[in-house]
Amino acid sequence: MVRRKNVLESTTLPGKLADCSSNKPEECEVYIVEGDSAGGSAKQGRDRKFQAILPLWGKMLNVEKARADKIYNNDKLQPVILAVGAGIGADFDITKIRYGKVIIMADADVDGAHIRTLLLTFFFRYMRPLVENGNVFLAQPPLYKLSKKGMQDIYCYTDNDLAEKYKELEEKGIARDQLALQRYKGLGEMNPEQLWETTMNPENRILVQVTLEDAMKADETISLLMGDEVEPRRNFIIENAKDVKNLDI
């Protein structure tokens, strides 16, 4: 009853969804964006014809420990279910999806990784055909911006990318101390033009297509770290404690 009344029979789109003008799923894409500030920049910077924006705020529901009725009524997951438009679980119909690309766009930090993992687990468990069909993607926002007066800004997406750009510029006679380096801590730090140019423009952006294996790994991670079994979690922490680089306290 909960499922039928509240989600699958609803024709209303989520209030925070900024939809696109096209109604052809094969050319449409929806960005699931972490936070209202980044969502605001994404709404302003997007191409309204084919790009929709769905901002989410706060932590996602951990589907590992949730009952079905909690999932259907959750205020974080329900907008995702309604936006995709193809139902959920056994009722999911891939032919009814409203967007050919469902793109998770989260910050490049610990919280962003957590949100991506939770969303991938949800898609794997309740919208698996979406993953199997290759409709789920991860956006790759830049980590750094190199700038210098009279030079076009250079965006770097990984630490290796940054090192290579430094080397290329030094070969052209531009020393490191002549460059201003900005480290992006979140999507909200970018203005609409920067977000479009680096992360949303199909000509420049980097999208990673999620495979079923990726989603399975996310699901295994959630089961291990957030499940009811304490012993596997303790063993994982003991084995990996020395390798921690980004500790969120």
**pLDDT for position 83:** 92
Catalytically annotated residue among 111, 153, 189, 214: 111
- Token readout for 164 is 């290579």
**pLDDT for position 54:** 93
Q: pLDDT for 57-92, tens place per residue?
A: 766 666 666 666 677 777 778 889 889 999 888 889
Q: How confident is the model at residue 40 (pLDDT cuts 50, 70, 90)?
A: confident
Mean pLDDT value of segment 12-16: 73
Measure the CA angle with vertex 163, ends 158 and 164; round to 5°: 95
Q: Is residue 17 assigned to a domain?
A: yes
Q: Report which of 202, 244, 238 is spatially closest to residue 103, judged by C-alpha positions.
A: 202
**Is 109 considered catalytic here?**
yes
Q: Is residue 132 assigned to a domain?
A: yes
CA–CA distance, 202 with 45 (Å, rounded to integer) = 13
Q: Are residues 190 and 158 in the same domain?
A: yes
Per the structure, the count of domains in the chain is: 2
Q: Is residue 27 assigned to a domain?
A: yes
Q: What is the CATH number of the domain that holds 180?
A: 3.30.1490
Token match 């290759």: residue?
134
Q: Are residues 103 and 192 in the same domain?
A: no
Catalytically annotated residue among 9, 27, 29, 34: 34
Catalytically annotated residue among 27, 36, 91, 107: 107
Q: Are residues 128 and 22 in the same domain?
A: yes
Q: What is the CATH number of the domain that holds 127?
A: 3.40.50.670
CA–CA distance, 130 with 208 (Å, rounded to integer) = 15
CA–CA distance, 233 with 56 (Å, rounded to integer) = 28
Q: Are residues 63 and 161 in the same domain?
A: no
Q: Is residue 60 assigned to a domain?
A: yes
Instruction: Give yes or no for residue 244 having a pLDDT over 70.
Output: no
Q: Is residue 245 assigned to a domain?
A: no
Q: Is the Cβ–Cβ distance between 222 and 62 less than 8 Å?
A: yes
List the domain range (segments joined by +) for residue 165. Answer: 144-200
Q: How confident is the model at residue 1 (pLDDT cuts 50, 70, 90)?
A: very low
**Is 214 considered catalytic here?**
no
Q: Report which of 90, 102, 77, 94 is spatially closest to residue 14, judged by C-alpha positions.
A: 77
Q: Are residues 29 and 128 in the same domain?
A: yes
Q: Is residue 246 assigned to a domain?
A: no
Specify the pTM: 0.80
Q: Are residues 15 and 131 in the same domain?
A: yes
Catalytically annotated residue among 47, 64, 109, 214: 109
**pLDDT for position 13:** 75
More confident residue, 177 or 67: 177
